[in-house]
A = this chain, B = another copy of it.
Amino acid sequence: MARVVVSVMPKPEILDPQGKAVHGALPRLGFTGITDVRQGKRFELEVEGELTEQRLAEIHDLAERLLSNPVIEDYTVTVEPGVVA
């Protein structure tokens, strides 16, 4: 059993209205010194059995086809340390 995290973020050149909204709210709440906020998605996948190279390749495929929109988003796949058992 392993936990794999897929992070999906808007590409740098793509406008991110959610992040902008959060950024705009900061001064009103008294937070200063944060120059930019971007908001994306985080998926935690619980993977059965051993995390082989083939399994990871499948998860990359899944991240690209189901979890992200490659036109406007970038994704990264990371294996959560300590959850592999």
Q: Are B48 and A34 in contact (CB under 8 A)?
A: yes
Docked complex: A36-56 residues within 8 A CB-CB of B: 36-49, 55
Docked complex: A60-85 residues within 8 A CB-CB of B: 62, 65-67
Query: Does A15 sit within 8 A of B, measured CB to CB?
Result: no
Q: How far is it, in angstroms, between the C-alpha of A51 and the C-alpha of B65 when the chains are bound?
A: 37
Interface 0/1 of A6-33, CB less than 8 Å to B: 0111000000000100100110010101
Binding site for B on A (CB under 8 A): 1, 7-9, 19, 22, 25-26, 29, 31, 33-49, 55, 58, 62, 65-67
Given A25-B66, A66-B29, A40 and B38 touching (CB < 8 A)? no
